[in-house]
């Protein structure tokens, strides 16, 4: 069997159905084999970065490993942004990259790049295969590494002579990794200690993240039950949205820089914090020395390096969320533990007072479409349907996170850790491939969407009815907001000049273009968008001056939030925040 | 965990001896801004193809813990041991020290070498190369003493270390 045949056989044996890719010289043997078979579907993207984001969307909405195939040199370097994006957000991917023949490696050959060198810090692991007999083993091992433990992207660099050469195939059952065995069961002693802390808590809070979503549907169901059993409030990170039902009365919404007032105040004032599958990211913690100063902290994470990295915790439990929460639940019941009801009642009383501030309130208008209102309407009109949402990066992303509520995991795909503009459209493409009959919407900004706009062509080719909903405020809104708050309103290069006519652009790509300029047009346009069984771009013209609130300015603590434009005038942001990101 | 005191730790890492493994470890240190004071690597088990990397690093307790956790996360890493805290250990370093000169200085360098139990491994009429083995501070002291006596070149291996007693690292 040739190396190329073995790669495809190994993919089939791993249960792969779809590959996102782009051909080139070094991977021609693989494309030749793809041509001769019909078990693997290949989706031809228009840029390698998009192939990786599409595979991310596919992986995150299905729980499977996404697969990417790109050529050597520029193919591999174009994929790098996507790989790091997947690394930051723990998305399981296997990316096959072509490489020049082994005898040319190191010779600055045409389309040669040191792919394993370049991708080392942005992958969970990578391989350069130098022997055809190792191809099958490496592919199987790569899938194992990508999906177990904290998931992540794995690159397999395949020199052309290795693909053409002949060797023997080994099935997946024969491959066992020498060292890599992540711990999935949590330490029972630590769990017991955690539960004791929880039972005595006066002001507890669950703080959950993407680990819950990554752990699978069961994890999120178990966690939801456990949160209900305890009666504690639960806040979610950007990546954790959907890990706990967003419309549940115990949900406080999102935590962090643009999280809700009630979530951030509760995080600040809590006495026991139960962090599950989140990593105390700087966007969540705010100023680290003012983060939850009175709290005992419990941290459940599958990745030991996430523990005590930014914030020192009191009880660490290394393990998979589903396993740990199941044990927590069992022991809570077996030991007949109960939350301190009286304290909890008082705590909820306080939380309700914070909630009553209605921090997501915005100045409604009937003259201009407020971006928040647009998302609210989108949510109301699509919530009862089988909907998946992806986003780009910026203000629209934060408004989507604030105003769109997710009831289950895997419905929300956004670039959290890396913050990659251009993520949303290709990601939506991957979601739609996995769920052809579902409603898939990319909530976008007019700046971000142009970073991978070429994928409209892919949508056309595969008849993928993705809906691109652009909140067009003619600015890189988040950049403009920071310039307003921190740089004296000097809007350096943040105006989106010379924008295309998005309606005509959609039509040029064989899609449908719609425009909403007035408040009373909005609902009709959204209905129209959903009614079309084709890709659609909606150019929703929104208030260009709107800022995203509430906000914890950089370098501030959770209890120093800006609630809105009125606050902004009262509490000038310190210059210290300027050096932070 | 909150202590800000900077401490020096010797970390022993057992890894698969495969292409790029050292680059992974070094890349981890440079990418995350950790210090490397010394680093040694060599294959230690030819049948299993395992290498041992010994790194002397420094940082706060939280950083040291983070370094170990990050190292354990690398796929080809079998075992990470912190020899500074996991029971007593012995650590050694080897240096080759070239000293040039004549007359009284040359005699003095030989005398000091004798005190430090350094061996002469190369000699000409105007130079010696000494080989000295010992703990890092012993080597430091020897090299310092050689400075006024015509120190020309120093080549050091970096620290290798192993746990004391019958048990493996």
Closest to B70 (Cβ–Cβ): which among A145, A178, A305?
Answer: A305
What pLDDT is attached to residue A572? 65
Q: A99 at the B interface (CB within 8 A)?
A: no
Phi/psi at A392 (5° precision): -90, -150
Question: A13: helix, coil or strand?
Answer: helix
Q: Are A291 and A557 in contact (CB under 8 A)?
A: yes
Q: A307 at the B interface (CB within 8 A)?
A: yes
Provide CB contacts within 8 A for A578, sequence distance 6+: A486, A487, A554
The DSSP bridge pattern shows strands A296-301 and A234-236 to be unpaired
User: Is A138's pLDDT higher than 80?
Assistant: yes
Q: A236 at the B interface (CB within 8 A)?
A: no
Phi/psi at A250 (5° precision): -80, -5
State the Cα–Cα distance between residues A155 and A175, nearest whole angstrom: 18
Which chain A residue has its CA at the smallest distance from B64's CA? A309
Active centre residues of A (catalytic): 48, 110-111, 160, 478
Average pLDDT estimate for B12-16: 97
Closest to A120 (Cβ–Cβ): which among B1, B27, B65?
Answer: B27
- Percentage of chain A with pLDDT > 90? 94
State the Cα–Cα distance between residues B145 and B147, nearest whole angstrom: 6
Phi/psi at A150 (5° precision): -80, 115
What pLDDT is attached to residue B2? 55
Beta-carbon count within 10 A of A273 CB: 27
| Residue pLDDT, tens place only, A280-308 | 999 999 999 999 999 999 999 999 999 99
User: Is A127's pLDDT higher than 60?
Assistant: yes
Average pLDDT estimate for A490-510: 97
What pLDDT is attached to residue A477? 97
8-state DSSP, A572: P
State the Cα–Cα distance between residues A77 and B32, nearest whole angstrom: 22
Mutating which of A150, A180, A297, A310 best tests the B interface, going by the most B Cβ atoms within 10 A? A180
Report the Cα–Cα distance between both ends of chain A, in Å, rounded.
52
State the Cα–Cα distance between residues A4 and A166, nearest whole angstrom: 9
- Percentage of chain B with pLDDT > 90? 95
Q: How confident is the prediction for chain A on average, in pLDDT? A: 96
Beta-carbon count within 10 A of A182 CB: 15
What pLDDT is attached to residue A61? 98
Q: What are the chain B neighbours of A125 within 8 Å (beta carbons)?
A: 74-75
**Which helix (H) or strand (E) segment is A125 a member of?**
strand A125-128
Interchain proximity B75–A179, CB inside 8 Å: yes
Interchain proximity A178–B72, CB inside 8 Å: no
What pLDDT is attached to residue A179? 86
Average pLDDT estimate for A298-323: 97
Average pLDDT estimate for B97-114: 96
Closest to B2 (Cβ–Cβ): which among A121, A179, A312?
Answer: A312
Global pTM value: 0.95
Which chain B residue has its CA at the smallest distance from A125's CA? B75
Q: Are A88 and A153 in contact (CB under 8 A)?
A: no
| Residue pLDDT, tens place only, A395-414 | 999 999 999 999 999 999 99
What pLDDT is attached to residue A455? 98
Interchain proximity B1–A308, CB inside 8 Å: yes
Confidence of residue A450 (pLDDT cuts 50, 70, 90): very high
Could you give the C-alpha distances from A543 to A370, A372, A374, A577, in angstroms and in order?
5, 10, 11, 27
CA nearest to A327, candidates A219, A218, A188: A188
Which chain B residue has its CA at the smallest distance from A180's CA? B75
- ipTM of this predicted structure: 0.90
Q: A145 at the B interface (CB within 8 A)?
A: yes
Average pLDDT estimate for A248-270: 97
Q: Which residues pair with A297 in a beta bridge?
A: A273
Beta-carbon count within 10 A of A363 CB: 10
Closest to B24 (Cβ–Cβ): which among A120, A304, A307?
Answer: A120
Out of A563-577, B68-82, B91-105, least confident range: A563-577
Beta-carbon count within 10 A of A345 CB: 10
Q: A60 at the B interface (CB within 8 A)?
A: no
């Amino acid at each position: 069997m040739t190396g190329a045949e073995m790669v495809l056989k190994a993919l089939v044996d791993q249960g792969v159905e779809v590959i996102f890719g782009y051909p080139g010289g070094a991977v021609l043997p693989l494309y030749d084999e793809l041509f001769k078979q019909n078990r693997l579907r290949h989706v031809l993207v228009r840029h390698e970065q998009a192939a990786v984001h599409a595979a991310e969307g596919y992986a995150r909405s299905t729980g499977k490993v996404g697969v990417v195939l790109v050529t050597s040199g520029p193919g591999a370097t174009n994929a790098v942004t996507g790989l790091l994006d997947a690394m930051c957000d723990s998305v399981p991917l296997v990316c096959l990259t072509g490489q020049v023949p082994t005898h040319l490696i190191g010779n600055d050959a045409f389309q040669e790049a040191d792919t394993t060198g370049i991708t080392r810090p942005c992958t969970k692991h990578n391989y350069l295969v130098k022997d055809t007999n190792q191809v099958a083993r490496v592919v199987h091992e790569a899938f194992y590494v990508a999906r177990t433990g904290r998931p992540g992207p794995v690159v397999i660099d395949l020199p052309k002579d290795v693909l053409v050469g002949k060797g023997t195939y080994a099935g997946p059952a024969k491959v066992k990794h020498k060292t890599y065995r992540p711990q999935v069961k949590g330490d029972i002693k630590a769990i017991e200690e955690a539960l004791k802390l929880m039972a005595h808590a006066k002001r507890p809070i669950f703080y959950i993240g993407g680990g819950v979503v990554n752990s699978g549907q069961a994890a999120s169901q178990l966690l939801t039950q456990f949160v209900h059993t305890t009666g504690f409030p639960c806040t979610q990170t950007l990546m954790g949205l959907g890990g706990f039902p967003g419309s549940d009365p115990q949900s406080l919404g999102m935590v962090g820089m643009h999280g809700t007032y009630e979530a951030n105040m509760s995080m600040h004032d809590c006495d026991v914090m139960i962090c599950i599958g989140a990593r105390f990211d700087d966007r969540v913690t705010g100023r680290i020395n003012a983060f939850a100063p009175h709290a005992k902290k419990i941290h459940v994470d599958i990745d030991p390096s996430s523990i005590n990295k930014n914030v020192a915790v009191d009880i660490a439990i290394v393990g998979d969320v589903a396993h740990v929460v199941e044990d927590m639940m069992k022991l809570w019941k077996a030991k007949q533990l109960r939350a301190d009801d009286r304290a909890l009642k008082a705590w909820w009383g306080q939380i309700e007072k914070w909630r009553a501030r209605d921090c997501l309130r915005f100045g409604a208008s009937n003259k201009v479409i407020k971006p928040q209102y647009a998302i609210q309407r989108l949510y109301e009109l699509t919530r009862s349907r089988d909907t998946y949402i992806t986003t780009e990066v910026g203000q629209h992303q934060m408004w989507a996170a604030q105003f769109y509520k997710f009831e289950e995991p895997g419905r929300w795909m956004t670039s959290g850790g890396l913050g990659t503009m251009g993520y949303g459209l290709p990601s939506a493409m991957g979601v739609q491939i996995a769920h052809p009959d579902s409603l898939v919407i990319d909530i976008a900004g007019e700046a971000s969407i142009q970073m991978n706009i070429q994928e409209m062509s892919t949508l056309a080719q595969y008849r993928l009815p993705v809906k691109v909903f652009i909140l067009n405020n003619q600015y890189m809104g988040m950049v403009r907001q920071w310039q307003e708050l921190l740089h004296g309103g000097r809007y350096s290069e943040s105006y989106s000049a010379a924008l295309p006519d998005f309606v005509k652009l959609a039509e040029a790509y064989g899609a449908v273009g719609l425009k909403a300029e007035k408040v009373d047009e909005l609902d009709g346009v959204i209905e129209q968008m959903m009614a079309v069984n084709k890709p659609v771009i909606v150019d929703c013209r929104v208030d260009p001056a709107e800022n995203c609130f509430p906000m914890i300015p950089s370098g501030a603590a959770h209890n120093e939030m800006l609630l809105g434009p009125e606050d902004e005038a009262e509490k000038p942001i310190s210059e210290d925040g300027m050096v932070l990101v | 965990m909150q202590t800000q005191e900077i401490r020096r730790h010797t970390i022993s890492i057992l890894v698969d001896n495969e292409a790029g493994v050292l680059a992974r470890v070094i890349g981890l240190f440079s990418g995350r801004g950790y210090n490397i004071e010394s680093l040694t690597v060599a294959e230690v088990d030819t049948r299993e193809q395992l290498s041992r990397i010994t790194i002397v690093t420094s940082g706060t307790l939280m950083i040291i813990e983070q370094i170990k956790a990050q190292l354990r996360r690398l796929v080809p890493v079998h075992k990470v041991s912190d020899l500074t805290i996991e029971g007593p250990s012995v650590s050694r370093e080897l240096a080759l020290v070239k000293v040039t000169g004549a007359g009284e200085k040359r005699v003095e360098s030989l005398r000091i070498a004798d005190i430090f139990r350094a061996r002469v491994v190369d000699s000409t009429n105007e130079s010696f190369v000494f080989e000295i083995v010992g703990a890092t501070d012993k080597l430091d002291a020897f090299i310092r003493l050689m400075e006024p006596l015509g120190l020309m070149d120093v080549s050091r291996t970096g620290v290798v270390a192993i746990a004391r007693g019958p048990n493996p690292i």
